[in-house]
Amino acid sequence: MSAGKGSAEEAKEKRPLLAAIRQNLEIIKNDLGNSGDIIFREVWLASGEAIAVIYVDCLADKQAVSDFILEPMIYEAHLPGTDSGGSPVSPGDALRSLKRYVLATAETKEVTNFEELYNALLSGETIILVDGHRAALTASTRGWRDRGVAETTSESVVRGPKEAFTETLRTNTAMVRRKIKDPNLWLESWQIGRVTQTDVAVMYIKGIASDKVVEEVRTRLERIDIDGILESGYIEELIQDETYTPFPTIYNSERPDVIAAELLEGKVAILVDGTPFVLIVPALFVSFLHSAEDYYHRADVSTLVRLLRYLGVFIALFSPSLYVAITTYHQEMLPTQLLISLAAQREGVPFPAFIEAMMMEVAFEILREAGLRMPRTIGPAVSIVGTLVIGQAAVDAGIVSAAMVIVVSTTAIASFVFPSYSMANTIRMLRFPLMGLAASFGLFGIIVGIFALVLHVSSLRTFGVPYMSPFAPMIVADQKDAIIRMPHWAMFSRPRLINQNNVKRQQDPKAAKPGPKK
């Protein structure tokens, strides 16, 4: 399958290959600008046919080209008179003979036009042109250098697999198949981007994934018409349901075990060549607060960690706004001793609580971004200078109060509990309008903001599935893996709204419960 081509470009007839090898080579060299990294090698078979071998330096494996294409042609190309079925092979039919008897590569196919030839050539395959034939052979010799499988950097776990996806599409699909050895794990391929022709793969488990969701993914990918796709974030923005929302509606991960678990839930994975981050649809709100490690520890430990995570969400989102609202409008809510202490700290501060909070939050966001962009050797030093030196100096100078430094620091620590970086960014953005509502209307403004957030997230859908499922609509059977995590033997069914084909995950929970028989 292919996508990302305009209707005018689709209507244009593809240029067919010519029979004369010299004319084909001249066209290829002109179209590719006589690029120096395009290697042309001409050989002649014993039967007299002229053959041209073309490949891109560093995209194709030179050793494979030499061992499996050039060497068999030069030293072993004694084309037989009959094929394996006993039918005669004409002396001029060198193309079929090369494909059947000479080339030792695992995958070969014929192309008949220049567009397919260029696509294969620039993907790392080797092109074989034979004089007198209006077709060419492509041999699979992709051999570019790629980053080896390493430990994940954005989703660290204490217990569980340490491997992460790489930038090579076929490596990533193989890592998923290593987790799920089922023939029903299907893969569909696209090439998206008029210029980049980026390989995109869609993986799902036939019989578990919803047919409607799979068809919707196909439709949205085929609608994409753009010049280039350089990362899965391009695909995410182009196929998401809602554009103007701070909440991510498509989940991404660089862990093969997470993607395998999501596929078993009935979801669909979208893999993009050139990036280690794989997209998952549909994505629910609770998915962004679950970690892969939740399923590798005991259920009680995982439940405790999840509760702490939800508490961290509340602190990261509402802590600065609650401080601004209470210190500005609702001082009577504080104990007398605490109120006196806060008043003494703020006595020399020249700014209102809202301006003070905004200054500290903006300064922290700048420090966080600087720590991410700085080289790793000096990144921690920037964080230490920002938190210790600048924070302490600001308190001593009377610009901010010590209580505000504590609130901002607590908020920053709580924002690091999110397993998903995209949801952490959402909380970072929503914190500022909530602070503005708190400074304008106090606790009433915060409550209005909460109502607005609840109404907004309840209206969101992700590929036809309610974003807040299983809370809105409330699905009691799916609460076993929402805020708490039940033991594995009790999670006998898949999420109802995501999957209707094969809801049952395992046997009856009573029969599946481990332990001695009574």
Which pTM value belongs to this model? 0.84
* DSSP alpha helix (H) spans, 329-415: 336-345, 353-373, 379-384, 391-396, 402-415
Provide the pLDDT for residue 187.
Answer: 94
**For the chain, how many structural domains are there in total?**
3
Q: Does any domain span residue 339?
A: yes
Q: Tokens for 205?
A: 């488990």
Same structural domain, 271 and 303: no
Find, among 112, 80, 111, 74, the residue nearest to 93 by Cα. Answer: 80
Q: Does any domain span residue 247?
A: yes
Q: In tens digits, what is the pLDDT along the chain, a chain of 518 residues? A: 555 444 444 434 688 999 899 999 999 999 998 888 899 998 887 667 788 999 998 888 888 888 888 888 877 555 554 444 444 445 446 777 788 778 888 788 889 999 889 989 988 899 999 888 889 999 988 877 677 788 888 888 888 888 999 988 988 999 999 999 989 999 999 999 999 889 999 999 998 998 999 999 999 999 999 999 999 999 999 999 877 899 999 999 999 999 999 999 999 999 999 999 999 999 999 999 999 999 999 999 999 999 999 999 999 999 999 999 999 999 888 888 888 888 888 888 888 989 989 988 888 888 888 777 777 666 666 666 666 677 777 777 788 888 888 898 899 889 888 888 899 999 999 999 999 999 999 999 999 999 999 999 999 999 989 999 999 888 888 888 899 999 988 888 888 878 777 788 877 655 556 666 55
Beta strands in 83-213, from DSSP E residues, in sequence order: 108-111, 126-130, 136-139, 185-192, 198-205
Question: Long-range contact list for 442-448, CB < 8 A, 24+ apart?
Answer: 442/325, 442/328, 442/329, 442/330, 443/322, 443/325, 443/326, 443/329, 443/330, 445/325, 446/318, 446/321, 446/322, 446/325
Which amino acid appears at position 377 of this protein? T
Same structural domain, 248 and 315: no
Beta bridge partners of 44: 50
Same structural domain, 303 and 277: no
Angle made by CA atoms 53, 54, 58, in degrees to the nearest 5: 125
Same structural domain, 235 and 344: no
Provide the pLDDT for residue 456.
Answer: 94
Same structural domain, 340 and 398: yes
Instruction: Tell me the C-alpha distance between 394 and 383, whole Å.
Output: 16
Provide the pLDDT for residue 508.
Answer: 63
Q: Does any domain span residue 49?
A: yes
| DSSP letter for each residue of 452-513 | HHHHHHHH-EETTEETTTTTTTT-GGGGGBTTSB--GGG--B--TTT-SS--B-SS-HHHH-
Find, among 111, 157, 161, the residue nearest to 137 by Cα. Answer: 111
Find, among 344, 340, 326, 336, the residue nearest to 407 by Cα. Answer: 326
- The one-character DSSP state at 282 is S
Is the Cβ–Cβ distance between 493 and 505 less than 8 Å? yes
Instruction: Tell me the C-alpha distance between 105 and 99, whole Å.
Output: 9
Same structural domain, 17 and 105: yes
**Going by C-beta distance under 8 Å and a sequence separation of 6 or more, which residues neighbour residue 429?**
246
Token look-up 């100078």 returns 397
**Going by C-beta distance under 8 Å and a sequence separation of 6 or more, which residues neighbour residue 22?**
none
Provide the pLDDT for residue 497.
Answer: 78
Q: Does any domain span residue 37?
A: yes
Angle made by CA atoms 162, 164, 167, in degrees to the nearest 5: 160
Is the Cβ–Cβ distance between 257 and 179 less than 8 Å? yes
Same structural domain, 434 and 343: yes
Provide the pLDDT for residue 106.
Answer: 79
Question: Long-range contact list for 338-347, CB < 8 A, 24+ apart?
Answer: 341/403, 342/401, 342/403, 345/401, 345/402, 345/403, 346/401, 346/403
Q: Does any domain span residue 474?
A: no
Phi, psi of 384 (to 5 degrees): -65, -45
Longest dimension (CA), the chain: 103
Which amino acid appears at position 87 of this protein? S
Q: Does any domain span residue 493?
A: no
Cis peptide before 183 (omega within 30 of 0): no
Identify the domain containing residue 224 by its residue range. Answer: 169-283
Same structural domain, 336 and 217: no
Provide the pLDDT for residue 252.
Answer: 94
Token look-up 């060198």 returns 94
Distance of CA 28 to the CA centre of its chain: 35
Q: Does any domain span residue 364?
A: yes
Q: Tens of pLDDT along 89-143?
A: 454 467 777 887 788 887 888 899 998 899 899 888 999 998 888 899 999 888 7
Q: Tens of pLDDT along 360-403?
A: 888 888 888 877 777 766 666 666 666 667 777 777 778 888 88
Provide the pLDDT for residue 10.
Answer: 47
Alpha-carbon torsion (411, 467, 462, 299), positive or negative = positive
| Residue 380 half-sphere exposure toward CB, CA atoms < 13 A | 2
Same structural domain, 279 and 307: no
Same structural domain, 118 and 225: no
Reduced to 3 states (helix: H, G, I; strand: E, B; else coil), residue 272 is: strand
Same structural domain, 461 and 314: yes
Same structural domain, 457 and 340: yes
Q: Does any domain span residue 106?
A: yes
